[in-house]
Amino acid sequence: MHDRLRALHDRLDAHGQAHVLRFADALDDASAAAFADELEALDLPRLSRLIDSVLGHAPEEHAGDLAPPEMIDWGVDDARDAAARAAGAELLAAGKVGAFLVAGGQGTRLGYDGPKGRYPIGPLTRRSLFAYHAHRVLATSRRYGAALPFYVMTSRANHESTVAAFEEAGWFGLERDQVFFLVQGMLPAVDRDGKLLLADRGALSMSPDGHGGCFRALDVSGALDDMASRGLEQLFYFQVDNPLAQVFDPLFIGHHVQAGAEMSTKVVEKSDPGEKVGVLARRDGRTCLLEYSDLDAELAAARDDDGRLRFRAGNIAIHVLDVGFARTIARQGELPVHRADKKVPCLDEQGTLVQPGEPNAIKMEMFVFDALPLAERSVTQVVPREDEFAPVKNAEGQDSPATSEAALVDQAKRWMEAAGLQPPSGPAEVGPLFALDQASFRDNLTRSDLGPVFDRPA
């Protein structure tokens, strides 16, 4: 066996994982060296802790002290909103906010060949998800006269193709040094006994460590240091699959800052108790997220006097994070890992690759919302679903490209109508460089803009 691998044996054995060296004798020098790199990089004590926690996982008991969070509803208090918007705008103009896109997921449900951000979602232009987001960063930078930085988290599997998408598009009009890529960490898959699985004779079966891996990734990549050198105070966190995400929304940033919050969340109203969305709640004086699978049916269906669901704050995974808070979580807090039982191809004891028909493996993932209870203060901002949330998750049906495109078309037509234009019978599309919101759509219209595509070059 290769010397470096032999030297690892005892360490692995101390954690019950020496079986991963079972086929190491057969590896050529290059494969053995690559495998040794991978194994040496494992933090075995941490891994053992994580494996123990997922194997011992029991459904969380929710005590009776759950309450809905205090919510800031949109369009209720105009004066308060105006003050918040001004505070958010001031911070943006001072260049103190960065955008943080997490795009390291595997997109298995969509089944698209390539990073999900490359998906051509624009109803008429086929503009990609990446283009929507990057153009919002660009348009906001222009609006406030500050080159706002754009942090993009990838994973090993999609990093190169993601960077290439930006390169091919001329950085979507952004300055090269406005964009900072960071690669998230990986965690191994294990079998039901907690044993590491092999993807190959010289490779573990690994997958991205979840969007909650973003805190650690911000730190190890140097992104936090980059933020410090730019004097950033807040990070606008969002996910790649939602082309309606209003990146850098000054209203949300303003409410967060005015409350002195460390991590805030946008939510949409959940109206059907059965909708599969996590809801925000308060427990022990902190905001937390209840996954839909953890919310018991009675609580899920409970209603307020006005007939609305009591737990209606449906999470849409858009946050503002105080940069200092993100640093504290990255350096001091370990988020819990969640267990997902999946079908993972792996080597059997004879070294043959098997394609399981049933879930055979446990994948471990961290979730960004697990940082919420660690925040002393948190704002929950309700926003209209039709303007802010149309994720691309599945290939068909709910939350698919079809529903997301329909939402983009619907928004474009509503903006046209509000500006006194007759919407077309077919699709319409508004690019972020033309307008970021309904008011700027109306203001930016010229006589030659009649649709159905409203766009400006980068």
Nearer Cβ to ligand UTP (24/407): 407
Q: Does 184 bind ligand UTP (CB under 6 A)?
A: yes
- Nearest CB to ligand UTP, comparing residues 21 and 217: 217
Which of the stretches 18-26, 34-42, 202-210, 405-413 binds ligand UTP when contact is defined by CB under 6 A? 202-210
Least CB distance from residue 77 to ligand UTP, whole Å?
Answer: 31
Rounded Cα distance between 1 and 6, Å, is 6
- Structural element, H or E, at residue 423: none
Confirm if 115 and 165 have CB atoms less than 8 A apart: yes
* Minimum distance from residue 445 beta carbon to ligand UTP (Å): 32
Q: How far is the CB of 160 from ligand UTP (least distance, A)?
A: 16
Residues in contact with ligand UTP, shown as a per-residue x/- string from 77 to 106 under the rule CB under 6 A = -------------------------xxxxx
* Site membership for ligand UTP, residue 161 (CB under 6 A): no
What is the smallest separation between the CB atom of 203 and ligand UTP, expressed in angstroms? 19
**One-letter-per-residue 3-state SS of 37-53:** HHHHCCCHHHHHHHHHH
Q: Is 455 in the site for ligand UTP (CB under 6 A)?
A: no
Which range in 57-65, 209-217, 283-291, 299-307 contacts ligand UTP by CB under 6 A? 209-217
Enumerate residues 211-240 that contact ligand UTP by CB under 6 A: 211, 213, 239-240
Cβ proximity to ligand UTP, 140 vs 184, nearer residue: 184
Residue 44 backbone phi and psi in degrees, to 5: -65, -40
397 Rama sector, left if φ>0, alpha if ψ -120 to 50, beta otherwise: left
Regarding 265 and contact with ligand UTP (CB under 6 A), the answer is no
Q: How far is the CB of 232 from ligand UTP (least distance, A)?
A: 20
Q: Whose CA is closest to 434, among 443, 425, 423, 426?
A: 443
Direct distance between the N- and C-terminal alpha carbons of the chain, in angstroms, rounded to an integer? 56
Rounded least distance, CB 109 to ligand UTP, Å:
3
**How many other C-beta atoms lie within 10 A of the C-beta of residue 258?**
15
CB of 438 to ligand UTP, least distance (A): 26
If the CB atoms of residues 87 and 102 are measured against ligand UTP, the closer one turns out to be 102
Tokens 């309904």 belong to which residue?
438
Q: Which CA distances in Å does 138 have to 318, 441, 449?
A: 19, 16, 21
Given 69, 98, 122, 210, the residue binding ligand UTP (CB under 6 A): 210
Q: For 148, how many CA atoms within 13 A lie in the half-sphere containing its CB?
A: 32
Distance CA 410, CA 37 (A): 51
Phi, then psi, of 189 in degrees rounded to 5: -90, 145
By CB under 6 A, residue 243 contacts ligand UTP: no
109 scored as a contact of ligand UTP (CB under 6 A): yes
Q: Which of residues 109 and 283 has its CB atom nearest to ligand UTP in the complex?
A: 109
Site for ligand UTP in 380-399 (CB under 6 A): 393
The H or E element containing residue 82 is helix 78-93
Q: By CB under 6 A, what part of segment 314-373 binds ligand UTP? A: none
Nearer to ligand UTP, 261 or 364 (CB): 364
What burial letters (b/e) apply to 302-340, b meaning 16+ CB within 10 Å?
eeeeeeebbbbbbbbbbbbbbbebbbbbbeeeebebbbe
> Residue 258, interface with ligand UTP (CB under 6 A)?
no
Assess 162 for contact with ligand UTP (CB under 6 A): no
Min dist CB 184 to ligand UTP, Å, is 6
Nearest to 102 by CA among 342, 369, 337: 369
Binding site for ligand UTP (CB under 6 A): 102-110, 116, 153, 155, 184, 208-211, 213, 239-241, 393
